[in-house]
Every structure is written in C-alpha cells, then in structure tokens.
Amino acid sequence: MKTHSPSQASKPTPTRDETLPTTELPSSNSSLSKPSRAQTILSHLKTEIALDHADIPIIACCFVSGLCDSSAYNAWTCFVSMQTGNTIFLALGASGQPITHPYGWAKSLLSISVFFCGCLFFSNTRRIIPKARGTLAASFFLQSVCIIVAAALVQRRVVPSPNGDVIESGGGVDFLELVPLGFLAFQSGGQMTTSRLLAFNEVPTTVLTSVYCDLASDPKVLARDNVKRNRRVGAVLCILIGGIAGGWISRSSAGLATSFWIAAAIKMVIAISWSIWKPKAAVQL
C-alpha cells in the first residue's frame, strides 16, 4: 500500500487569489477624481448668486447715474442715462430749438441709440446664466471699462471739457463729444438691464418718474416693513446725491474726468463683489 509523507500531506494547494499581487496599482483615472484649479474657478463663476442684499449694488448704480448724468449734462447738455429727457431734446430739434444748442438733438439721438444698443447687448446675458457670478462680474467689468474710456478721453483732453460754470453759447459743436457720450450711454443700458434680470424692477437705476409714482400710490408707504419702498427711496436719494456730487466736482478744480473716474471705480468694485457674492441656497428635496 502506497503512503504519503507527512510533509506532502500537510502542504496546502495554492488558490487562485493567493497568486495575485497584494499591492494595489494606481488607477489611471485617479487624476480625474479631484477637479483642477481651472474647473474649480469655472464652477465658482457659474454659481448663481443669492438675491439677499443684491439690491445694494443696483441702488449704488443709481448714484453712478446721478453722477454721470449731472456731469454730462453740465458739460455737453445731454443725458447719458435719462433717455426721457433726451427724447424731449430730440423732439425740440425738429423746430431748431434750443437756439443756443443747434446740434443738441444729434447728441440726444446718439445717446438714445447707443443706450438702446447697450440694453440689447447686455440683455443677451440671459442666454448664459444671467444670475451667475461670472456673468454679472463680466457685465459690470465691461461697464466700468466703458466709463474708463470716457474718463481717459476727457483726462487726456482728446474731448474738451468745461472748467467751472458752463456758459451757454451758440457756437459750433465739437462732435468729439459724441464719443464719450456713446460709451457712457452704452454702460447705462447695462446696469438697467441687470436690474431687470435680477427682478428689482422697482429700481430702474436711470429714471425716477415711475419710482415717484410707485411711492405715492403705495398703500403701505408708511409701513415699518416695506422692502420695495426702501429700495425706491434709496434709488431717489442716490440719484440726487450723485447729481449733487457731479455738479460740485464739475465746478471744482478736479474737473469733469474725476466724476467719471469715481463712477468707473464704483462699477469695478461692484464687478468684484459679484464675483465673490454669496451663492444661491441649494433646493432641499
């Protein structure tokens, strides 16, 4: 009878699993598990903002409107934000009035046309996440650049600007004035479009006629808690204060360009603020 030695009987048969390596090999897709810095930034900019306190930058735009409109009108007898006034100036031009500004209608027509183009251009942001940080930041950055161009043209004396009080004159018009007017009107369309996209319709940022009407007809105008009333009052005060500031700056030695530099700085600060604004809260299902 054939027998087996103890050493042969106790030796276990190797299994298939024991033949595999015990060290885990690095996965070829491990680099994809963590987003890159560019992807993180892009995701941050695509995030929609929370609307809490988002009305503050919009109301600040009212100050910019008052500052730019008072400065532009004082220098060139034309508005860059309030297009109702420009429409009246355009209508007066049909009868050759006012006599002291024979080509005032041309400035008003340009301002209205470029403002319209600005609204058309910036309204297309609704196609690329209109309430996203990046969209709002880019919009206000471009608005700031437009004001910077206007300020630089005046600062470098490419466009003449009055020093001190404006004296009415029937002389010829310098059509170089149309260049900064165009840039200023274009950016004004951008800020008004943003107020609409963010649903702050009670703060149009460029006009006050409807705001006065809404304040007077509001049945809760004296209520303690009335957010829309507060926004409307803030808009009125900011345009008023901006207009006063623009007038005094124009009379001072600082000159017209200073008003535009201040307006550009405000728009740039708003652009930076949008880029880091609090994100919209996630919907709980």
pLDDT tens, 185-238? 999 999 999 999 999 999 999 999 999 999 999 999 999 999 999 999 999 999
d(CA 215, CA 213): 5
Q: How confident is the model at residue 170, as a pLDDT?
A: 47
Q: How confident is the model at residue 164, as a pLDDT?
A: 46
Cα 183 to Cα 17, 23, 56, 223: the distances in Å are 74, 65, 24, 41
Q: How confident is the model at residue 26, as a pLDDT?
A: 52
The CATH number of residue 229's host domain is 1.20.1250
Cα 272 to Cα 9, 41, 123, 174, 211: the distances in Å are 79, 14, 20, 36, 28
Domain presence at residue 34: no
Q: Are 64 and 82 in contact (CB under 8 A)?
A: no
Instruction: Give the Cβ contact number of residue 207 at 10 Å.
Output: 17
Taking 50 as the pLDDT cut, the residues of the chain under it are 1, 30, 164-171
At 75, is the secondary structure helix, strand, or coil?
helix
Residue with tokens 């988002």: 54
d(CA 81, CA 188): 6
Q: Are 61 and 205 in contact (CB under 8 A)?
A: yes
Identify the domain containing residue 226 by its residue range: 49-164+171-275
Q: How confident is the model at residue 34, as a pLDDT?
A: 79
Q: How confident is the model at residue 179, as a pLDDT?
A: 94
Residue type, 88: I
Q: Are 143 and 195 in contact (CB under 8 A)?
A: no
Domain presence at residue 41: no
At 238, is the secondary structure helix, strand, or coil?
helix
Q: How confident is the model at residue 27, as a pLDDT?
A: 52
Residue with tokens 């897709």: 29
pLDDT tens, 7-36? 555 555 555 555 555 555 555 554 556 788
Of 125, 128, 240, 260, whose CA–CA distance to 194 is shortest?
125
Domain presence at residue 6: no
Cα 258 to Cα 23, 43, 75: the distances in Å are 69, 37, 13
Of 215, 253, 263, 281, whose CA–CA distance to 62 is shortest?
263
Domain presence at residue 11: no
Instruction: Give the Cβ contact number of residue 35 at 10 Å.
Output: 11
Q: What is the pTM of this model?
A: 0.84
| Total domains present in the chain | 1
Of 178, 187, 176, 190, whose CA–CA distance to 109 is shortest?
178
270: tokens are: 């708003």
Domain presence at residue 182: yes
d(CA 198, CA 183): 23
Domain presence at residue 29: no
Domain presence at residue 37: no
Domain presence at residue 195: yes
